[in-house]
Amino acid sequence: MVYNERLAQHGIAASTGTVGDSYDNALAENVNGSYKNELIHTRRWNDVVQAEIATFEWVSWWNETRLHQSLGYRTPVEVETDFWKQNPSQEIIEIKANA
C-alpha cells in the first residue's frame, strides 16, 4: 500500500498491526480510558449536550494544559508548535506533493 510505503520512507511505524495484536490500538485506548476515568465516569450527565460540552472542554484541556510524560512533560500543543518551527510548511507541502 502507498500509505505504508510513505510511512516507511519517513521512518514511521504504522499503527496497524497483525490480527489479534493486543497492542494494535494501545495509544487510542489509553486516551479513551483517561477520558472515561477523568470525565465521563465522574458524574451523572443530565443530557447528551451537557456531556458533549464537557467533552470539548476536556479535549481542549488534554491538548493545551495536561502535561504528557511521553512528550517529555509537555503538552501536545507545545510539541506541535515545535514541530512547525522545525518543519516550515513549504517542506510539508513538498512532502505531500511527492506522495
Q: Structure pTM? A: 0.65
CA distances (Å), origin 25, targets 19, 74, 79, 80: 11, 22, 22, 22
In a domain, 33, yes or no: yes
Do 61 and 73 lie in a common domain? no
Do 94 and 75 lie in a common domain? yes
Q: Tell me the residue range of the domain where 92 lies.
A: 67-99
What lies within 8 Å, CB to CB, of 75 at 6+ separation is 63, 64, 65, 66, 67, 68
Give the chain's domain count. 2
Residue identified by cell 460540552 is 53
Q: What are the pLDDT digits (tens) for 72-82?
A: 999 999 999 99
For Cα atoms 63, 57, 31, give the angle at the middle one, nearest 5 degrees. Answer: 50
Look at residue 97 and tell me whether its pLDDT is greater than 80: no
Q: What are the pLDDT digits (tens) for 17-65?
A: 666 665 667 777 889 999 999 999 999 999 999 999 999 999 999 999 9
